[in-house]
């Protein structure tokens, strides 16, 4: 997955907008550093068919979840149920192929995405209309959806033999050495990024996250906008569920378990402020890539697998401290600029 090149203005340090770009570039640089360090140690990390594919393919699923999570966090909410939604939609995907032999793949994909969106709609309705905290609602639906998933699945499992070969093939097919799933994830990411940055609707998410009361007074449809954020998050988690099935070929009742914290972690690493209103989905995607890539790189760099979570923790804390430093610096620069004029 290639990141669109960012043109850096000469006096970037003087422009408030430059902070955001510096943030994403910083994480991207960290990602490059990890890849380079691992490749120097073992060229196969990057320069082998498996290595290259894993570099692009494995993060694709978390990228989707992280992008949805980023949109929700930008509105100053959080969605803890994305992992459970992913699990439910993954099982639905497998079930449809089993129960309706010969069903077209595109219908299954749409059904799963719509199902994920519906689950997100439930979250959004409760948060937006009932005016209750998103963390509590999605904590409740995290349990409820996971419970429903386990109830529905039982001890049942989806096996590769249950799935059409063409569907499983999507998990390994490539176009110009780039995996199909990565291309789809990149397209979704680009669409989300464009929408968030270049449309009035997208900008409204930031306005709501920056100051919900001001947004309300300004006349924005806060309720509807928050609702749509959760729907988007659910839909993307649904798509991630489909990706999971086509990538791994088997589904149990624990698919996606614990992914919600990884998604939030990726968004935070990527520069999304947990307090809302700041960050871009590009950052969340890069954060997701960094999280997943570092898991593969650590063993090569000589750090045992067991320390992976600790490194992730340091990464998250380091990211938010960096955000704080940048914010303080920006504030100081703005004050200086004001005093100069």
Partner 1 sequence: MTTTASTRVIRDYDRSLWRRIIVNREFAIIALLVLVVIVATVSIRGFAQPITVNYLLLDVAPILLIALPMTLVMITGEIDLSVGSMVGLASVVTGVLTEAGAPFEVAALAALTVGVVGGAFNGFLVTVVGLPSLAVTIGTLALFRGLAVGLLGTTAVTDFPETWTALAKAKIAGTTIPYIVIPFLILLAVFAVVLHFTPFGRGIYAIGLSKDAARFSGVDVERTKFILFVLSGVVAAFAGIFYTLRFGSARGDNATGLELQVIAAVVLGGVSVFGGRGHLHGVVAAVLLIGVLGSGLRLAGVTSDVINIITGGLLIFSVVAASVLAWAQRLRSKAGPPFRVAASPAP
Confirm or reject binding of residue 82 to partner 1 (CB under 8 A).
no
Q: Which of 8, 29, 317, 334 binds partner 1 (CB under 8 A)?
A: 317
Confirm or reject binding of residue 233 to partner 1 (CB under 8 A).
no
Residues 6+ apart with CB under 8 A from 333: 13, 14
Contact (Cβ atoms closer than 8 angstroms) between residue 239 and residue 113: yes
Q: Which two tokens stand for residue 114?
A: 């719509």
Alpha carbon distances (Å) from 105 to 44, 114, 126, 185: 34, 14, 32, 17
Terminal C-alpha separation, the chain:
44
Q: Which is nearer to partner 1, 26 or 140 (CB)?
A: 140
Cα separation, 82 vs 261, whole angstroms: 9
Quick one: how many helices (H) and strands (E) in the chain?
13, 2
Confirm or reject binding of residue 176 to partner 1 (CB under 8 A).
no
Cα separation, 41 vs 37, whole angstroms: 6
Q: Which is nearer to partner 1, 14 or 324 (CB)?
A: 324
Closest separation in Å from C-beta 43 to partner 1: 28
Closest separation in Å from C-beta 120 to partner 1: 15
Footprint (CB under 8 A) of partner 1, residues 123-152: 126, 130-133, 135-137, 139-151
Confirm or reject binding of residue 320 to partner 1 (CB under 8 A).
yes
Footprint (CB under 8 A) of partner 1, residues 248-267: 253, 258, 261, 264-265
Q: Which residues sit at the interface with partner 1, rule CB under 8 A? A: 76, 78, 80, 126, 130-133, 135-137, 139-151, 211, 213, 253, 258, 261, 264-265, 268, 273-275, 304, 306-317, 320-321, 324
């Amino acid at each position: 997955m290639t990141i669109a090149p960012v043109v850096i203005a000469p006096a970037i340090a003087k422009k408030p907008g430059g902070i955001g770009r510096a943030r994403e570039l910083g994480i991207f640089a960290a990602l490059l550093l990890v890849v380079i360090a691992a490749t120097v140690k073992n060229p196969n990390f990057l320069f082998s068919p498996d290595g290259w594919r894993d570099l692009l393919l494995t993060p694709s699923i978390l990228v989707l979840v992280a992008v949805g999570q980023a949109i929700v966090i930008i509105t100053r909410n959080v969605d803890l149920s994305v992992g459970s939604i992913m699990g439910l939609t993954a099982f639905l995907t497998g079930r449809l192929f089993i129960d309706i032999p010969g069903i077209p793949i595109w219908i299954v994909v749409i059904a799963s995405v719509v199902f994920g969106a519906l689950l997100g709609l439930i979250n959004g309705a409760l948060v937006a209309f009932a005016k209750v905290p998103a963390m509590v609602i999605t904590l409740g639906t995290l349990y409820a959806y996971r419970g429903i998933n386990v109830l529905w699945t039982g001890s049942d499992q989806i096996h590769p033999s249950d799935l059409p070969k063409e569907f499983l093939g999507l998990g390994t097919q490539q176009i110009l050495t780039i995996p199909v799933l990565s291309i789809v994830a990149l397209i979704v990411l680009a669409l989300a990024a464009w929408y968030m940055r270049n449309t009035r609707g997208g900008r409204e998410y930031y306005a709501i996250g920056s100051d919900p009361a001001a947004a309300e007074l300004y006349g924005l449809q806060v309720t509807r906008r928050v609702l749509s954020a959760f729907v988007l998050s659910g839909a993307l988690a649904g798509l991630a569920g489909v990706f999971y099935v086509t990538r791994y070929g088997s589904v149990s009742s624990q698919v996606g378990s614990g992914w919600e914290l990884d998604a939030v972690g990726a968004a935070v690493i990527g520069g999304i402020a947990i307090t809302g209103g700041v960050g871009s989905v590009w950052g969340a995607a890069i954060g997701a890539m960094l999280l997943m890539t570092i898991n593969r790189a650590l063993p090569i760099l000589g750090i045992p697998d067991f320390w992976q979570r600790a490194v992730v923790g340091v990464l998250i804390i380091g990211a938010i401290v960096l955000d704080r430093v940048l914010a303080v610096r920006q504030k100081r620069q703005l004050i200086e600029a004001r005093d100069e004029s």
